[in-house]
Amino acid sequence: QLFGTQEVLPRIGKALVNPDGDGLISIFGPGGAGKTTLAYEAVKQFAGDGGFTRVAWVSAKLSHLRDLGVIETSRHTRTGWLDMIAEVAEQLDVRVDLHPARLEESLANALQSSIEIARPCLIVIDNLESAPDAQLAVDFLTRSPVLRPHKVVLTTRNSARLIAPTVREFAWHGLDSDAVREFAAYLAADTSGFELDDLDVDELISMSGGIPLLVKVAVRLAVHTSQPLRTVIDQVRNPGGELGSLVGQFLYEQSMTALAASAGVGDDNAIGLMNSFCARPDGESLNLEDFFELSLIADRAQFERARTTAHKLALIRGVDGNRRFTIHPLLRDFVCRG
Amino acid sequence: MSAEMAGDGASPSWAARLRAGRRERYWKTSTMLLLRDMEDLKGRELRGKIKDLIFWCDSSVADPEVIDAELFADFVDGMCRVVGNYGVIDGVAVEPALRRIIDLQESRRDTTTKLWLTLARFRSMISLEDDRREEALNAALESAPVGSALWAESVLAKAWYLNDISRYGDALRIVGRLRQAIPQELYDGYYACGADTMAGVALFTSFRDLGAARQKLTRACTFSKEADDDVQLRRWTATAHHYLGRIAEVDRDYPEALARYVQGHALQTRCPEELQSIAFIHLRMSEPLIALGYFDEAEDHLRTAAQVCSDYADYSSGRLQVQLGFATLDVAKGRTGFALQTIDATRNEARAIGYWRGELLCLGYKCAVLLRTRSVLRLVPVLLDIIMTMRGGELGRGNAARLLLRLPTVLGVAVRRMSFRPSRPLQPATTTGCPCRVHTPADAVAAGGPSA
């Protein structure tokens, strides 16, 4: 369920379904604001009305390759970009020449064939987190005849208008106060005895800055530890009593403590469980068997207990009907780069 | 509150404890899972793993203390195969990663042979003829005790490299050293397969002694039973069958050539996926089929080869050779003009991506087609084109001498098609079609059809 998108979602939908409208649509905003969720909902609600017969969804996440200072960055970005183009072709079931020198042109030509023009597709390039990533995508999309009747949706951290004046942009900075209030009430609704008063919600709005993950983790932590929400938020204040820039980190620390303290989990299992996600790139999910092995938890029952508790604490997410598991990018940063 | 401390301010933060939890066992588990995936997955699923592999390589290098060097060499070797198969565009992280691990191993006085071999394999993806590939192979040879299994593997890897760069005499010499230096039992029981395969390839490709080449390759194929349980032996025997097929083609024993290619294909598909090898087998199968007049079957194999080539980022001549295979089919069908158009288009494509060897290969083919159709006058501009290509290509980079030395080899591919030097008496062609499983399903074989 989405919160706070009543105004922006129909506008994105209108841009998607208009065949004469802009072919390149961008949703931009800070990390963790929920751009991916917004794009997903827009595609789910409007792709059919827009006449799109197929959707390709690729997660860019090219910037993780740039962590090591010794590695020449631009070439790596390029590598990731071309792999992504190949992935788009694969998802659309379009045959392309995979030679690096011909790949971009090959996809552009394929999408402009009469067969493909008759079957418009929607391409979502999610998580273009840095300016060079966005530049690569926009350069290709605006230079080549990829668009029309097809459309492309980008999610980026920064406005793409400077690099592509023709892009149709939608800013999304996360939940506003009313949306935080609604979301928190929704998260707490099924928990008997757990109350949220106005002061709790005001504190939550102030603490989270509208980042849905922080709202979710704080409420789930309060529910799991049976503490008032204000107590949880007090614990993540800095020594000066302020909610500083490290509030997310402090909140995750508290959640890890709660996970380790849960019955049948313990420190080692909590560490092993969360470290599993550092073995694969940002944005990847793990199947249950690999998750179990990577967690280094010896006993399957213990692993299941740890996994269930981490899920309740919003530290991990189940996808594909809980057959695969993943972690929010902000949490992954905390776990794997801390 | 410090980022490194949390809660009571005295215990390490969870972030620090999480970091400390990623040690040897964690690294080994993740690496083993990726090795398993590289072994088990094929096609799209395997291609989807490339991102994970490169990520893990980068992560491993960032924390070399937790790495098991032997396992890392296996991992990088597998990664090179997958990346080489599907083509991540460059592997800029791989070489520094390997060199860091080699330095680490040397500082610990641990073995580095496997790592050097992996580095050589990685360099071969970038260019077959590569100084750093040769340096890595030499380092592998120096790092392994003479006569050991690792040394034998280094010798055979070097022999493969020498064959790749057309130094066939050197390849034969180094393979000869192998026989003398390793224990007889080890040689006879295992490495004779690789040695005979490498020697057979050298003898055939240099056109020195086809009879001796056949003898060695046939001997390599006697390891077929042992190859059931050993990937390396399967690779060698698959290669041996492939080259026996090529010798049979030279002898115009096309049924035998087809039978060998089918056997090579069956072995190759039981190795971890190597798309380039599979594409080449289909290309080779088209050649005897064209010679026998089975044009539809030949076209099927050419199309399969083209499809496999388009599934990976092809740096080699595979893709171009497939297009030239279509030109050969056109010539056989009497559509010479169309064939020449295909050759010209292929040449332009080679030029567009700066692949000078491919361009020369096309010109060599064009020469062969024009000679075959006795269009001698039209040969002159083609020969001039060859000279111009040299000027714009290697000559411009100051490698004229090397190019001129290689030219006969490149042109030899075309010339060999036209030449006919049987290594044994001709056999009558008695095949009734293509014996592969697509054109002759197993039930047809059981009913008395061609053998697969």
pLDDT digits (tens, 9 = 90+) for A246-291: 788 888 999 999 999 998 899 999 999 999 999 998 878 899 999 9
Instruction: Round to whole Å and give the CA distance between B134 and B145.
Output: 19
Q: Which residue in this structure is represented by tokens 């593997």?
A: B153
Neighbours of B188 (CB within 10 A): 12
Q: Name the DSSP letter for residue B12.
A: B
- Asked if B13 reaches chain A (Cβ–Cβ under 8 Å), the answer is yes
Specify the pTM: 0.71
Instruction: Round to whole Å and give the CA distance between A34 and A55.
Output: 20
Q: Name the DSSP letter for residue B191.
A: I
Show Cβ contacts of residue A142 under 8 Å, excluding neighbours closer than 6 positions: A24, A164, A166
Q: How confident is the model at residue A299 (pLDDT cuts 50, 70, 90)?
A: very high
The pLDDT assigned to B419 comes to 45
Say if residue A115 is exposed, middle or buried (CB neighbours under 10 Å; 0-12, 13-18, 19+): exposed
Tokens in use for B262? 């089918």
The verdict on whether omega for the bond into residue B408 sits within 30 degrees of 0, i.e. cis, is no
A26 - beta bridge partners?
A154, A169
Q: Of B30, B86, B89, which has the smallest distance from its Cβ to A79's Cβ?
A: B89
Neighbours of B103 (CB within 10 A): 12
* Contact assessment for residue B327 and residue B374, using Cβ atoms and an 8 Å cutoff: no
The pLDDT assigned to B128 comes to 67
Smallest CA–CA distance from A274 into chain B, residue: B18
Among B149, B159, B86, B161, which residue's Cα sits nearest to residue B123? B161
| Residues of chain B scoring pLDDT < 50 | 1-10, 89-90, 394-399, 403, 409-410, 413-414, 417-423, 426, 428, 445-452
The pLDDT assigned to A22 comes to 87
* Strands, sheet with A324-326, edge to edge from the N-terminal-most edge strand: A286-287, A324-326, A317-319
Among B417, B309, B426, which residue's Cα sits nearest to residue B367? B417
Which H helix or E strand runs over A124? strand A121-128
The pLDDT assigned to A188 comes to 83
Residues of A in contact with B89 (CB under 8 A): 78-79, 82-83, 100
Residues of A in contact with B48 (CB under 8 A): 87
- Asked if B96 reaches chain A (Cβ–Cβ under 8 Å), the answer is yes
What is the per-residue DSSP string for B387-416?
A: HHHHHHTTGGGT-HHHHHHHHHHHHHHHHH
3-state secondary structure of A216: helix
Q: Name the DSSP letter for residue A112.
A: T
3-state secondary structure of A58: strand
Instruction: Round to whole Å and give the CA distance between B73 and B75.
Output: 5
Q: Of B21, B86, B311, which has the smallest distance from its Cβ to A275's Cβ?
A: B21
pLDDT digits (tens, 9 = 90+) for A166-216: 889 999 999 999 999 999 988 888 777 777 888 888 889 988 888 999 999
Smallest CA–CA distance from B100 into chain A, residue: A70
Residues of A in contact with B15 (CB under 8 A): 249, 253, 334-335, 338
Instruction: Round to whole Å and give the CA distance between A256 and B140.
Output: 47
Instruction: Round to whole Å and give the CA distance between B261 and A283.
Output: 43
Tokens in use for B437? 């499983």
* Contact assessment for residue A111 and residue A150, using Cβ atoms and an 8 Å cutoff: yes
* Contact assessment for residue A30 and residue A210, using Cβ atoms and an 8 Å cutoff: no
Instruction: Round to whole Å and give the CA distance between B152 and B187.
Output: 9
Q: Shortest Cα distance from B165 to chain A (angstroms)?
A: 23
With an 8 Å Cβ cutoff, are B7 and A335 in contact?
no
- Judged by CB atoms within 8 Å, which residues 240-299 of A form the interface with B? 246, 249-250, 252-253, 256-257, 267-268, 271-272, 274-275, 278-281, 284, 290, 293-294, 296
Question: ipTM more than 0.85?
Answer: no
* Contact assessment for residue A210 and residue A175, using Cβ atoms and an 8 Å cutoff: yes
Q: What are phi and psi of B432, to 5 degrees?
A: -110, 15
Show Cβ contacts of residue B381 under 8 Å, excluding neighbours closer than 6 positions: none
With an 8 Å Cβ cutoff, are B58 and A71 in contact?
yes
Q: Name the DSSP letter for residue B376.
A: G
- Asked if B36 reaches chain A (Cβ–Cβ under 8 Å), the answer is no
Region of poorest pLDDT, from A123-137, A141-155, B231-245: A123-137
Strand A151-156 and strand A168-171: the pairing is unpaired
Say if residue B446 is exposed, middle or buried (CB neighbours under 10 Å; 0-12, 13-18, 19+): exposed
- Asked if A319 reaches chain B (Cβ–Cβ under 8 Å), the answer is no
Question: Buried b vs exposed e over B326-341: b needs ≥16 C-beta within 10 Å?
Answer: bbbbbbbeeebeebbe
